[in-house]
A and B are shown apart, each in its own frame.
Chain A
Amino acid sequence: MVQKPGSTPELVTLRGAGVCRDGRWLVRGVDMAVAKGEIVTVIGPNGSGKSTTAKMVLGIIEPDEGTVTQQAGLRVGYVPQKLSIDWTMPLSVDRLLQLTAPVDKQRRAQVLERVGISQLAHAQVQHLSGGEFQRALLARAMASNPDILVLDEPVQGVDFSGEVQLYNLIASLRDETGCGILLISHDLHLVMAATNKVICLNGHICCHGTPQAVAESPEYRKLFGERGAATLAVYQHDHDHAHLPDGTVVHKHGDGDGHSHHHGKQG
């Protein structure tokens, strides 16, 4: 069936998609879709094919079997898992924001403000800390108002309070702009509260559904063990606070900046 571009809410659809390298299937039989206003989270252990799946969604890797369909004229914002900028390259944050599309000054200031690094607009990217760099990459991806954001481990190197803040930001971006978001994470306890669908990957789709349904499924428990599964169940979205693995409670204040209090850490 041929669907008219734009007539469906699905931004990207994968059907039976798989990638084979050197006679080995990195990932196979992936059926998934990301629709407007939806956050889809892909979790799985290292080497389970999460990044490969993201690259298929983005059209960076052609599937060796199955199909990948992008909505016509889809605007994409991408935060890759690995991005290192050579020391010899003079590149400021402000310039990074305009890497693939022109972004006016007002918008640049706005996105940097949203991710909390306004003061770093003119800093060279090599001077940023890991967390600041991730924020800059996220700001860059959202700057040109994409239809879909693909975020591959977007909070790597960000500290605890920052992680919660950034995940809240990602959820509110979805609410404000109605874009679709594909989120890749190996951080089970951080599978975000606002996620609509979770896909659990281990070379193939082990299980999928709402965060709750996945956490309770036997396949998921088998893959991550009882302990990991129990951890996930704890991290449900709560409008006023969230728990971190050491028992820390993180409050979300009215101003929405995710400022955190740490109560009695007991590792």
Chain B
Amino acid sequence: MLDDFFIRALLAGSLTALVAGPLGCFIVWRRLAYFGDTLAHSALLGVALAFAFQINLTLSVFVVCAVIAALLLTLQRRASLSSDALLGLLSHSALAVGLVVLSFMSWVRVDLMGFLFGDILSVNKAEIGLMAAGAVAVLAILTFIWKRLFAATVNHDLAMAEGMNPLQVNLIFMLLLAGVIAISMKIVGVLLITALLIIPAATARRFASTPEQMAVMAALAGIASVVAGLFGSLNLDTPSGPSIVVAAMGLFVVSLIPLPFLKRKVSP
């Protein structure tokens, strides 16, 4: 069954959406959408370094994302620049440095389109194995820190005062995010990773009445988007990564259709 490229793509996409959904909820709750973008853009630097030092691509991207996340957390505490200026600075600097480093290695031919928009149809069995292991690890850790991370998301000071150790769980959350970006880069590409994180979460918001429900629904909405996007891409011969994001957006738009029995949950 795994010999069929389309089945492999479905599996890889679903695994990514499964972890992107719950993490995406925290991105939305914490208003970190641009932060996700910054990490994704810095992934190119990870790609360049992987080629330069002949190391595993996913590992290299993960390390670079984690370093950028740590740098950002440190700079936010010290620098006088505002958070969004810092994000823009780091995001585009990392992207530019990555492109420059790549240009030095004239012997390397990087498929830039594949990097920007993903190359889900070329996922192999080993990569699916890595994704499955990564997904299990991320979900297990997220479950373990869920209560503390949620308290820290509601209010940092409150969580700190009442012994929930927000600094520690925030750091773990950043590492999980770096991990998810590293494994989902192949699926939708760096330009669209943030979309896979936040659109399913936004879709789930309407129907959820507890944070846990929202996380589960976001994962399901993400998987539905992957399936719909890939079938659409197969039938219409469109690029797979962008098709998945278009499907996610379509699902979000459908979720906005007023339903009388849901009215009380969403009205301000």
Contact = CB atoms under 8 A, between A and B. Distances in A.
Interface string A126-154: 11000000000000000000000010000
A85 B209 CA distance: 14
B151 interface: yes
Contacts, number: 69
Interface string B54-70: 00000000000000000
A91 interface: yes
Interface stretch (A52-60, A155-163, A231-239, A252-260): A52-60
A124 B161 contact: no
A77 B160 CA distance: 11
B202 A88 contact: yes
B174 interface: no
Nearest to A84: B155
B162 A77 contact: yes
Nearest to B150: A99
Contact of B265 (A86, A87, A100, A124): A124
Interface stretch (B37-45, B183-191, B210-218, B241-249): B210-218
Contacts of A127: 268
A133 B184 CA distance: 39
Contacts of B205: 88, 90
A77 B162 CA distance: 7
B164 interface: yes
Interface in B143-164: 150-151, 153-155, 157-164
A14 B148 CA distance: 28
A88 B33 CA distance: 13
A90 B29 CA distance: 9
Nearest to A81: B157
Q: How large is the interface on B (under 10, 10 to 19, 20 to 34, 35 or more residues)?
A: 20 to 34
B164 A100 contact: yes
A201 to B, nearest CB: 19
B31 interface: yes
Nearest to A152: B157
Contacts of B210: 90-92, 95
Interface string A180-201: 0000000000000000000000
A100 B162 contact: yes
Given A86-B29, A86-B31, A92-B209, A80 B158 contact: yes
B31 to A, nearest CB: 7
Interface in B81-125: none
Among A87, A89, A95, A96: residue with most chain B CB under 10 A? A89
Contact of B211 (A59, A91, A150): A91
A100 B159 contact: yes
A74 B15 CA distance: 43
A55 B158 CA distance: 10
A2 interface: no
Interface of B: 28-31, 150-151, 153-155, 157-164, 201-202, 205, 208-211, 213-214, 265, 268
23 contacts: A58-B160, A58-B161, A78-B161, A78-B162, A80-B157, A80-B158, A83-B158, A85-B154, A86-B28, A86-B30, A86-B31, A87-B268, A88-B201, A88-B202, A88-B205, A89-B29, A89-B154, A90-B211, A92-B210, A95-B210, A96-B154, A99-B158, A101-B162
